């Protein structure tokens, strides 16, 4: 039950982060497509985080992070927003223009997918180090 509450809390907080990012992006003149890229990236990150949380007891998650309550939400939100900004700024620095073209959508989605795969591999290694199979 407690694990479900932690997962539900993280999912709710991520949905809140996603809505704030989308609103801010649209307010500063960003396109709807950019907002969709943010949404896809946050959803991919959430998937890897939830996979870790579903396979690790909540008590251990709190011990590993060393954080409680709102501080945990702030730490996860800050980490997710930093990653979203890094992907966006990297593609902007390369001259990538976000458009509705499917061909233009492949590079950022590939980058997001690789980040998720890397995160899953790290989680798998941490489980093996703890003796979980």
DSSP symbols for the chain? -HHHHHHHHHHHHHHHHHHHHHHHHHHTT--HHHHHHHHHHHHHHHHHHHHHHHHS-HHHHHHHHT--HHHHHHHHHHHHHHHHHHHHHHHHHTT----S-HHHHHHHHHHHHHHHHHHHHHHHHHHHHTT--
Q: How many domains does the chain have?
A: 1
pLDDT single digits (tens) 21-69: 777 777 777 777 777 777 777 777 777 776 776 676 666 766 776 766 6
Residue 49: give the domain boundaries.
Answer: 2-129
Q: What is the pLDDT of residue 86?
A: 81
């Amino acid at each position: 039950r407690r694990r479900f509450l932690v997962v539900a809390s993280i999912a709710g907080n991520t949905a809140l982060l996603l809505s704030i990012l989308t609103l801010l992006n649209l307010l500063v003149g960003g396109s709807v497509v950019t907002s969709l890229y943010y949404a896809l990236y946050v959803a991919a990150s959430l998937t890897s985080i939830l996979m870790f949380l579903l396979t690790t007891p909540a008590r251990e998650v709190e011990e590993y992070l060393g954080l409680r309550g709102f501080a945990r939400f702030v730490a996860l939100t800050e980490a997710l927003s930093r990653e979203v900004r890094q992907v966006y700024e990297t593609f902007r620095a390369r001259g990538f223009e976000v458009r509705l073209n499917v061909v233009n959508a492949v590079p950022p989605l590939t980058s997001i997918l690789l980040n998720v795969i890397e995160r899953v591999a790290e989680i798998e290694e941490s489980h093996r180090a703890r003796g979980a199979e």
